[in-house]
């Protein structure tokens, strides 16, 4: 995967004695002790991460954790005290003002928490503002603005003004402005936190839908773990300026790094975090053309299973249960097809456990298939409920 953003041991100290503050930090002093001794504040300490092209990297933390400082170092609004911040290989922590301007114009767009719309400008002019700064002509600006507004379902409001739109619509205008710039990297600093909960969830869904089509590289800042778990391909949890844990949603909920993370994840709905891929086991299948009821029974006894899927050219076509096979031996001369249940539960590995409830209620193992429809794994109904009941490891 192509790396778009990479941070290497980034530190940020606010104050007049950053060198002394870093010395105290390396000596094991806490953020509070350093402030008392120097009056300097540790904003970010030793942050390292990579964000691949097309990923959503979510930085989650409470107020004062350093997440907003971190994102502002990516676009050069805050200069790191030490470390490297690479955008497509260019270190924006140590580059000329011209290089920084070029990176901002061609690589990065920012979506703000409070919309940052100009009230005296139309929606289209707000969206096109960054293009105007770049010197793009009026006709081209308008066309790009309308295209971006269409992507967020607001093209009809191009000539309206911000105060004529709801909060959620205004935030979509802010998102359209980022899209109109055609930037490869979107920095989103708590963009949905000012919205009502229902509108916020709609915006999260809309962002994911846009991402499926556009595949931007997104660095998303939030104080809400639920939002982080919904959006993030990879999530970093910050505390006191440092990363406490970096991983996928499943990693963080299943294996919190410490008590701090465990406290955040304690009330998370595990059914909406874990997927079928989390609990599936490798497929053990019977071949419709080669196996018989007798070989199927022997296979089940060896594996200790009471049901197995039947495949034809790699694709599941049914399932047989041990209890039905002996009857098939007597009635159908041992033909596997005579004992096969053609109506069986099946899904893909990305299906959330929440959506497996109905399938698990059949009592039959759930077939997990890939994009070609071939059998790649099996989920036992009891494993679905066991995963949901399991306490997170501290």
Extract the tokens encoding 64.
């004062």
Q: What is the mean pLDDT of residues 299-323?
A: 93
Question: What is the rounded distance in angstroms from the CA atom of residue 279 to the CA atom of residue 277?
Answer: 6
**Residue 43 pLDDT more than 90?**
yes
> How far apart are the C-alpha atoms of 146 and 126, rounded to whole Å?
11
Mean pLDDT of 16-20: 93
Judged by average pLDDT, the poorest of 57-61, 217-221, 260-264, 375-379 is 260-264
Query: Which pLDDT band, with edges at 50, 70 and 90, does 310 fall under?
Result: very high
Domains and CATH numbers, the chain: 51-107+183-268 (3.40.50.300), 276-389 (3.10.580.10)
Q: Using the structure block, give the residue that is written with the tokens 């098939």.
A: 328
Angle at 171 between CA 219 and CA 217, to 5 degrees: 20
* Residues 335, 286 contacting (CB under 8 angstroms): no
Minimum mean pLDDT range among 136-145, 153-162, 220-229, 262-271: 262-271
Q: What is the pLDDT of residue 390?
A: 59
CB-based burial of residue 372 (10 Å sphere; 0-12 exposed, 13-18 middle, 19+ buried)?
exposed
Please give the DSSP secondary-structure letter assigned to residue 29: -
**Whole-number pLDDT of residue 252:** 93
Distance from C-alpha of 127 to C-alpha of 104, rounded to nearest angstrom: 16
Calpha distance 198→336 (Å, rounded): 51
Average pLDDT, integer, range 83-107: 92
3 state DSSP class of 50: strand
Does position 394 have pLDDT exceeding 50, yes or no?
no
Helix, coil or strand: residue 209: helix
What is the pLDDT averaged over residues 98-118?
85
How far apart (Å, rounded) are the C-alpha atoms in residues 353 and 328? 34
Total count of residues recorded for the chain: 394
Please give the Cα distance from 18 to 13 (Å, whole number): 6
DSSP secondary-structure letter at 3?
E
Please count the other Cβ atoms lying within 10 Å of the Cβ belonging to residue 35. 17
pLDDT tens sequence across 143-166: 999 999 998 889 999 999 999 998
Do 117 and 186 contact (CB within 8 A), yes or no?
Answer: no
Contacts of 116 (CB under 8 A, 6+ apart): 174
* Least confident among 295-299, 326-330, 337-341: 326-330
Q: At what angle do helices 197-214 and 138-151 cross, to 10 degrees?
A: 110
Q: Using an 8 Å Cβ cutoff, are 88 and 38 in contact?
A: no
Cα 263 to Cα 65, 67, 237, 238, distances in angstroms = 16, 19, 12, 14
Spatial contact of 155 and 179, defined as CB atoms under 8 Å apart? no
Residue ranges in 255-363 assigned as alpha helix (H): 259-265, 276-279, 293-303, 322-331, 357-360
pTM of the predicted protein model: 0.79
Structure tokens at 100: 């920084």
pLDDT at residue 130 is higher than 90: no
State the pLDDT confidence band at 192, using cuts at 50, 70 and 90: confident
Confidence of residue 391 (pLDDT cuts 50, 70, 90): low
**What pLDDT sits at residue 134?**
82
Q: 162: which DSSP letter?
A: G
Q: What is the residue-averaged pLDDT of the chain?
A: 90
Specify the DSSP class assigned to residue 273. T
For residue 369, the 8-state DSSP code is E
- Give the other-Cβ count within 10 Å of 41's Cβ: 18
pLDDT tens digits, one per residue of 329-388: 666 667 788 889 999 999 999 898 988 988 998 889 999 999 899 999 999 998 988 887
């Amino acid at each position: 995967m192509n790396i778009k953003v990479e941070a290497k041991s980034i530190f940020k100290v606010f104050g007049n004695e950053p060198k002394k503050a870093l010395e105290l930090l390396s000596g094991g002093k806490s953020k509070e002790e350093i402030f008392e001794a120097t009056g300097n504040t540790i904003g970010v300490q030793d942050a390292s991460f990579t964000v691949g092209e097309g990923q959503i990297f979510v930085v989650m933390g409470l107020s004062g954790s350093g997440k907003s400082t971190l994102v502002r170092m990516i676009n050069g609004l805050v200069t790191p005290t030490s470390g490297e911040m690479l955008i497509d290989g260019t270190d924006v922590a140590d580059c000329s003002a011209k290089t920084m301007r070029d990176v901002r114009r061609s690589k990065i767009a920012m979506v703000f928490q409070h919309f940052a719309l100009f009230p005296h400008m139309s929606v289209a002019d707000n969206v096109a503002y960054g293009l105007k700064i770049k010197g793009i002509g009026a006709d081209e600006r308008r066309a790009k603005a309308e295209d971006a507004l269409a992507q967020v379902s607001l093209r009809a409001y191009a000539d309206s003004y911000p105060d004529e739109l709801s909060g959620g619509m205004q935030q979509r205008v802010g998102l359209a402005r980022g899209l109109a710039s055609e930037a490869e990297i979107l920095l989103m600093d708590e963009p949905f936190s000012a919205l009502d909960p229902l509108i916020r969830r709609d915006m999260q869904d809309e962002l994911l839908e846009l991402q499926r089509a556009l595949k931007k590289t997104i660095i998303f800042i939030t104080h809400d773990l639920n939002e982080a778990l919904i959006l993030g391909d990879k999530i970093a949890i910050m505390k006191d300026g440092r990363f406490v844990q970096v991983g996928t949603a499943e990693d963080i909920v299943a294996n919190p790094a410490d008590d701090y993370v465990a406290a955040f994840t304690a009330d998370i709905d595990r059914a909406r975090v874990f997927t079928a891929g989390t609990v599936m086991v490798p497929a053990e299948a019977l071949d419709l053309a080669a196996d018989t009821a007798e070989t199927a029974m022997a296979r089940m006894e060896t594996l200790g299973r009471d049901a197995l899927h039947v495949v034809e050219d790699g694709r599941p076509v049914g399932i047989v249960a041990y209890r039905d096979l002996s009857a098939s031996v007597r009635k159908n001369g041992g033909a596997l097809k005579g004992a096969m249940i053609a109506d069986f539960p099946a899904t893909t590995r990305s299906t959330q456990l929440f959506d497996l409830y109905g399938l698990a209620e059949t009592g039959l193992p759930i077939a997990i298939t890939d994009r070609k429809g071939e059998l790649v794994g099996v989920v036992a109904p009891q494993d679905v409920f066991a995963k949901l009941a399991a306490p997170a490891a501290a």
